[in-house]
Amino acid sequence: TLWENLANTAARVPDKTSMVFYGTEITFAEAHDTAERIAGWLEAEAGVRPGDRVAVYSQNCPQYVMACYAILRAGGVVVPVNPMNLAEEVRHMLADSGAVAIFCAQDLAAHMLGALDGTPVRKAVMIHYADYLREATDLAIPSFLTDEATVPADPRCVLWADTLAASHEPSAYAQTTDDLAFLPYTSGSTGRSKGCRHTNGTTIHALRAMYEWFGVTGDDVVLAVAPMFHVVGLQGCMNAPLKYGATIVIVPRWDRDVVSQLIERYRITAWPAVPTMAIDLLANPDLGKYDISSIRLMFGGGIAMPEAVAAKLKALCGISFLEGYGLTETMAPGTANPVQKPLAQCGGVPVFNTDMKIVDPNTLADLPAGEVGEILLSGPQILLGYWNRPDADAGSFVQLDGQRFFRTGDLGRVDDEGYVFIVDRIKRMINASGFKVWPTEVEAMLYKHPAVEEACVIASKDPKRGETVKAIVVLRHDAGEVSEEDFIAWARGQMAAYKVPRLVQFVDKLPKSGSGKVLWRQLQEEENAGR
């Protein structure tokens, strides 16, 4: 189980540094012992019993890791909550999951307090980040990390330090591989987010697939800046390092200068990355001040890596960005690029023990290489099903040739070697004069332009074509003058005429989710409202 992973590592290398937080170091022994004591408190004071759900609502910090493992030690199920969520979204997750307790960082206390009514939450443990800022540091620390420790007047609230001081012992550990461990919520293309039922078994298979595929070991120093509520951060920056005994360097909020300093100072070797963060780091005009050459491995998914950014990464670190494809439902990787033979802007091939099909979304008939269809995945990392949503389960799983496959709702095609290229969400297609245009495919081609830092493609209403293609583009800081006309003329040489953006809007930045994905739906809704 996940708890046994931490217990085994703490027994094997108790004095090794597990976590670094702005210069403060926490050993595996301290992480283990802290989680044990908090687990005892959860049982004694919050009444947590095996199978109970407990939420964690915080930025990345040492307490995030120890809270998750305290919940697992008590036999509970972790519900990771996006720290960008506001009260109404938090209430949905607490009520839907039936969470009996929550760990909440004090910068989010107001949203949490606004979410508790009408939920079964009995206790709220307040995380004070500065508890683990024990060493002086020259790094720029965000102000919210250094606020005074405060406890809301609500009687349900208690300080993290007080739960530790109570020194409760947990009861005997009795969880198994098949017990639920995590209930992460989908961002969901449609409607309210859904909880994904992941066991110790599905979670451990996925983290092993990630680290053993990419060759990450206990000797690596891992940059933990991908948000831990999201499956890439949860697995690559928390669960896997605790199993393998790797040190993680925790960053609660993206800051490219601080990250560059940390890479140089701690000789960080592995980065489970959100591509938008890597893009921003490499776009920094001051990057030359820092030595980031220790990074030997950078992997992630979510959006395609722009060609110019990939070339800069190769020049600075001698490595390729290894793209993969996965979902909350697969607890991170379903497919990934082989280290020995990666392809750019490609999801790679199925990871260990995973089968993939590309099928006609309507008939579920297999499609040949080169044809676009729905991606289906089958493997031991697939969720058991959604939380209390038999209706969603019915539409999400199919039996084909005696095997259970998950319908991803994503479109893709495979090449002759079995590499999958993600085309788009089924629901995101643009219909331009009857031609199907997949925004992700157009974005990948726009990333070939040397001046493009980021791009998002949406549909714009058009009286003749029904819909036409619009590109919203962030230019690199050193791009110079680029006009809409020049950009469209360049695009004509890159793609079929019906895919070429007819409209181009240059912006300073694109809106992003907590996991760093571009919020294309928000941009699409703004476009629809403006016309």
* Bigger pLDDT: 367 vs 276: 367
Q: What are the residue ranges of CATH 3.30.300.30 in the chain?
A: 429-529
- 234-247: per-residue pLDDT in tens? 999 999 999 999 99
Place of tokens 């074509």: 465
Count other C-beta atoms under 10 Å from residue 190's C-beta. Answer: 8
pLDDT reported for residue 319: 92
Digit-coded pLDDT (tens) for 61-86: 999 999 999 999 999 999 999 998 88
How far apart are the C-alpha atoms of 509 and 481, rounded to whole Å?
Answer: 17
- 8 Å CB contact between 437 and 465: no
pLDDT at 189: 45
In the CATH hierarchy, which top-level class contains the domain 26-196?
Answer: alpha beta
pTM of the model: 0.88
Quick check: 426 pLDDT over 80?
no
Lowest-confidence region among 224-228, 278-282, 412-416: 278-282
Q: What is the pLDDT of residue 187?
A: 67
57, pLDDT greater than 90? yes
Cα–Cα distance, 9 to 438 (Å, whole number)? 45
Pick the CATH number of 429-529 from 3.20.20.140, 3.10.20.30, 3.30.300.30, 3.40.718.10: 3.30.300.30
Is the CB of residue 385 less than 8 Å from the CB of residue 405? no
Q: What is the pLDDT of residue 437?
A: 85
Q: CA 123 from chain center: how many Å? A: 27
User: Vertex 162, ends 157 and 166: CA angle to 5°?
Assistant: 120
CB neighbour burial string for 344-371, b if at least 16 within 10 angstroms, e if fewer: bbbbbbbbeebebbbbeeeeeeebeeee
What does pLDDT average to over the chain? 94
pLDDT digits (tens, 9 = 90+) for 190-206: 457 899 999 999 999 99
Residue 219 is classified by DSSP as: T
Instruction: Centre a 10 Å sphere on the Cβ of residue 16 and count the other Cβ atoms it contains.
Output: 16
CB atoms within 10 A of CB 118: 9
